[in-house]
Amino acid sequence: YVKLTSTLRCGYHQYQFGNNENRQILFNLARANNRVVDWQIQQVDENILQGYQDIRDEKVYFYAILNTPIEKLEKVAEGKREGRSLVHLKNNNNNGPVEMKIGLSYVSVENAKQNLEQEIGAKTFDQVRKDADKTWETLLSKIEVSGGTQKQKQMFYSSLYRAFLWPALRSDVNGQYTDEKKNVVKGDFNYYTVPSLWDTYRNKLILLGIVSPEVTADVIQSLKDRGDKTGFIPTFFHGDHAAPFIAGSYARGITGFDVNSAYKHLLNNAFKEGPSRPHLNEYMAKGFISDPDVEKPHVETKGKAGVSKTLEYAYDDYALAQLAKQLGDTANYRMLMTRSNNYKNVFDPSTRFMRGRLENGDWIKNFNPQYPYYEYMYREANAWQVSFFAPHDMKGLIQLYGGEKAFESKLDSLYTVPWNPSYIARNVETMIGQYCHGNQPDHEAPFAYHFINKPEKSQQVIDFILDSLYGMGKEGLDLSGMDDAGEMSSWYVFSALGLYPFSPADAEYIVTVPIFDEVKWHTQDGKTLIINKSGPGRAMQQIRVNNKINEGYFVPHDLFKSGGQVEVITK
């Protein structure tokens, strides 16, 4: 058997062999999630190994100590993709497990050794495991739930756990890290990887900010540090969603980063075409991003994903405008707010869908709203799945559809128009009609009925997703699609608790009916926000905040700062 545990920068392994002869450990350094371009391993003592793995443009160094002497280190094609290394252990009369402590560093072998000495040192496996359990228990116990089924509690806490597995720490115990320019520098903050912003800006990074604001500040400081070296805040995959992440975090009271410097880099993102916003010049000139008219487009047709980019850039403009307003930059606030209306430029009133446009402004002729594209007009989506995205201006979106009744009819169709099973596309999976919960682009759509005063219809969709699209598989923990660094898990966490960050740039939450009778959310400041559900059913009738009737369906983030009570009354 194998047992594994870890600290922040080190791993601790236990291997129990069936017999004590011919014991071997395979170091498969040629394999990783990304392509390995080089690797090296060497023995430096009778029970110590060190080396590195070069994954494209990032090196991870290791320093490993075994509790058993090494007989021989066998290396085959060192540094090559087909290579491997095998550690042969000496035979002895000890039938106990082989233990290996491994320090990791993205700077050097010396730092990997120092990380190991400081984080594990002479601790036993059980001590390290207990420390890890305590760390997770401290985090998970920040939210206490009562009521609900055992499965719901299991799914809730496993989702909360998964939400905190990324981004990853990249600095060492001595403060050193390898920066964007590949220089080793020392910081007074913990340096993290770029978050999976296209996905996690929606919910997971807000959850991180509530539960671990100091980590969130370090993640933003890490993004800012990259901006210091390049002039731009990095994005991830698609969109410019560092803007809602940073603006929303600042609005929620996270200030442990250089906000003025971060804002300067985000303005570069928004006004200078570069790595963060492809096709920005066209967007600024026309108010939309075009795509070519392809005679017979297919799932993998290459393009600009112009509709998705236009919608996302418009929201990112809105997010950055909120930060501009907070910092007193009125001119940029007004300009960005005007640009935030650009989502309307890809709405086709004749089809009542967000539709691709040609460079001259004409609508793309080959248009099938049910057909999904990986990056033509849409990004990992079809027209149905992006046509309800305007989280900053739902009133304006509803008017585009012709008012509340017309919007309701269109939204009903999202969940009832049958999905064509022959339309197979990467990452488009687990359908409710045309709604796709297996991927992220339409994850805000279930909440849209609130904006036409029909929260009970939102709740029906949300409850179906919570009950049927989570907790599947043999172990009862599977998800209906990609977790994408904790986004899908965070969707469950917020929806199960009855608060969802519909517009992540804004310090407020849309209220739904929790699946638990009572939630106690303990904040970093020692305050407690209590969320109660009362009533026989699942249809929301009234929201009370601190015993007063709440106007509308949103509650402010200030409740997390001051503590208080949200009561959801159902019928």
Q: For 353-391, what is each residue's pLDDT tens digit?
A: 999 999 999 999 999 999 999 999 999 999 999 999 999
How buried is residue 356: exposed, middle or buried, by Cβ count under 10 Å (0-12/13-18/19+)?
buried
Give the position of tokens 């402004």.
361
Rounded-to-integer distance, Cα 547 and Cα 381, Å: 42
> Which of 66, 80, 76 lies closest to 25 in space, CA to CA?
66
Tell how many helices (H) and how many strands (E) occur in the chain.
17, 26
pLDDT at 16 over 80: yes
Give the three-state DSSP class for 314.
helix
* pLDDT band with cut points at 50, 70 and 90 for residue 21: confident
pLDDT for 428: 85
DSSP state at residue 168 = -
Rounded to the nearest integer, the mean pLDDT of the chain is 96
Q: How many residues are present in the chain?
A: 571
pLDDT for 264: 98
Tokens of 242: 């560092």
Q: Is the separation of the CB atoms in 504 and 244 below 8 Å?
A: yes
Backbone angles phi, psi at 545, to 5 degrees: -120, 120
Tokens of 29: 């350094």
Helices 204-211 and 487-497 cross at an angle (nearest 10°) of 70
Give tens-digit pLDDT for 154-179: 999 999 999 999 999 999 999 999 99
* pLDDT band with cut points at 50, 70 and 90 for residue 425: confident
pLDDT for 129: 98
Helices 150-162 and 487-497 cross at an angle (nearest 10°) of 140
Tokens of 289: 């991003």
Q: What is the mean pLDDT of residues 248-253?
A: 98
* pLDDT band with cut points at 50, 70 and 90 for residue 57: confident
- Residue ranges of alpha helices (H) inside 469-508 are 487-497
Give tens-digit pLDDT for 78-127: 999 899 999 999 987 777 899 999 999 999 999 999 999 999 999 999 99
Question: For residue 248, what are the CA distances in angstroms to 89, 216, 252, 355?
Answer: 53, 11, 6, 29
Rounded-to-integer distance, Cα 21 and Cα 455, Å: 66
Rounded-to-integer distance, Cα 51 and Cα 441, Å: 41
Instruction: Report the share of the chain in percent with pLDDT over 90.
Output: 93
Q: Which residues pair with 186 in a beta bridge?
A: 176
How buried is residue 503: exposed, middle or buried, by Cβ count under 10 Å (0-12/13-18/19+)?
buried
Supply the pTM of this predicted model: 0.96
pLDDT for 96: 86
Q: What is the mean pLDDT of residues 13-22?
A: 89
